[in-house]
Chains A and B, each alone.
Chain A
């Protein structure tokens, strides 16, 4: 396999049983994503974006076909191996932020590192750096309920980035944010994509996100209907 290929799905099918019927959420999806991409799965509600993201994130398994992520075949991974893959290499950002409510901002960002057995000083350095990226170093001691939506999502970005993963999967990261915060968070992620080379894959139907994408993969009814690279001239200018 080509070294720069990060994700490769082959004839990926996901079927959900719905009583007697079957719901085909993903239908023969063939997708290749390379290192450093800033791509988005775009499509109407129910088109299979989250399903695809979850399989790529090894949170779910395909019904048929294959999904290879960072050289690992998701369909054959054990639970333990899948957890390890996520812990070491994949960062998640959710629509609803999903911060751990009883932990401080600092502790939330530190969490993935605790699972990685890093030393206390290594953790501290990484957490502070991640908080700097999202401009929240001064809120380290706050608890999630004290944060605004934009701040919460920035904490989530820091938490996803703190271990410097190869891949960040963001499922509708701006759905609960206003325009300013949406652009702000995407700007932050673009900078991280550029500076750290982290690959980003979004799922969205938000025009504001689409404006930032360098690749737009359109899903319709579980199939890839269109896949286009967007040149810089067509992208939103960074402020």
Chain B
């Protein structure tokens, strides 16, 4: 307690320099929280979009199904029974049948995943209703990226070839009834959405699916034999991974800021111990143990972090509050380059955990940096210190 009181006096008595150090540290501090909040917001926003339009509340996958391995698709389907059938019937789950196919747009050959979905489904915010009431034999829905890579547009027809349940190849024309604009690549690139019943017919199966997407908020109902439940952590891990990789650049930036601040504090500590060696000698003469002198100087340095947090709060809170309310506008076109669903406006989120975590981290680093130069005191003789020697 006493040490803290003395340290506060010393720090504030240090004047301009203490404040300058604290301001630099506060910059690092606010930048860390600001960027981390931005990425947390990004992660949250993207996750939400993904949940709404593609992932749902989780998915049952047929055992053996691996989206990265098209060969698993051949047998990756199963009849809906029991609980899954119940869920699908009540509209709380949307079965999706996936069949590997090939399309021939403009004479080129291109692999495409045919995905059958119920046009009436209400599980995802996905424009499957375009597949309803169409005159075309096989109405198809594709994303804008798929449209671009194939050169297909609304109204265009293209030949598709697939293998049915017996392994027999079959081919037919499908017609693109709608090109949907979506920011989500996982329901766009390389995929063609068709009505579920139609795809079942094409594949020669009935009431079968490859994955069953449950409604948002439902989660896993129970274990269903033959199916593996994939929860949100699993389904969104790629997204989290991408966001994390985006933070690396920002981390380097604020690590640099933090480094500068720490350099300033380290330097201040070294200088202050040198300039105040007579004071150190006096403190020892007055009966302070070396340990206490070291503690005093360490606390004094560590207090920079507290001061920085206070200063940072003064300009940081209004700044952060502004962006939380107004969002951060992203330049047009950046959304796609992120490699995942991004709307034009990014709303950062600042959790208590982020703020507290950052505060504790900055405080610990500052304390260590403040402590290091004080080891010199441990070797200091009181008589030498009093004579102004180090």
Contact = CB atoms under 8 A, between A and B. Distances in A.
A192 B382 CA distance: 27
A173 B9 CA distance: 27
Contacts of B14: 102
Interface stretch (A4-12, A82-90, A147-155, A174-182): A82-90
B206 to A, nearest CB: 86
A145 B290 CA distance: 27
B286 interface: yes
Contacts of B290: 79, 83
Given A111-B286, A115-B287, A101 B2 contact: no
B287 to A, nearest CB: 2
A86 B278 CA distance: 17
Contacts, number: 69
A57 B9 contact: no
B114 to A, nearest CB: 78
A237 interface: no
B382 A59 contact: yes
Contacts of A88: 287
Nearest to B278: A98
A99 to B, nearest CB: 8
Contacts of A100: 279, 282-283
Interface string B275-292: 000110111111111111
B84 to A, nearest CB: 72
Nearest to A51: B383
Contacts of B10: 102
A75 interface: no
B6 interface: yes
Interface residues of B, number: 26
B192 to A, nearest CB: 75
A112 interface: yes
Interface string A164-200: 0000000000000000000000000000000000000
Nearest to B2: A114
A107 B386 CA distance: 20
A238 interface: no
A94 B283 CA distance: 13
A60 interface: yes
Contacts of A96: 278
A86 B283 CA distance: 11
Nearest to A93: B285
A79 B382 CA distance: 10
B289 A57 contact: no
B23 to A, nearest CB: 20
Given A59-B285, A84-B287, A100-B282, A107 B383 contact: no
B383 A92 contact: no
A90 to B, nearest CB: 8
A83 B383 contact: no
A87 B381 CA distance: 17
Contacts of B13: 101-103
Contact of A114 (B6, B12, B279, B289): B6
27 contacts: A54-B382, A54-B383, A57-B285, A59-B285, A59-B381, A59-B386, A60-B382, A79-B289, A79-B290, A83-B284, A83-B287, A83-B289, A84-B287, A85-B287, A86-B286, A92-B285, A94-B285, A98-B279, A100-B279, A101-B13, A102-B10, A102-B13, A102-B14, A111-B286, A112-B286, A115-B2, A115-B292
Interface of A: 54, 57, 59-60, 79-80, 83-88, 92, 94, 96, 98, 100-103, 107, 111-112, 114-115, 159
Given A57-B285, A100-B279, 9 more contacts: A59-B386, A60-B381, A83-B288, A83-B290, A86-B284, A98-B278, A102-B9, A114-B6, A115-B2
Interface of B: 2, 5-6, 9-10, 12-14, 278-279, 281-292, 381-383, 386
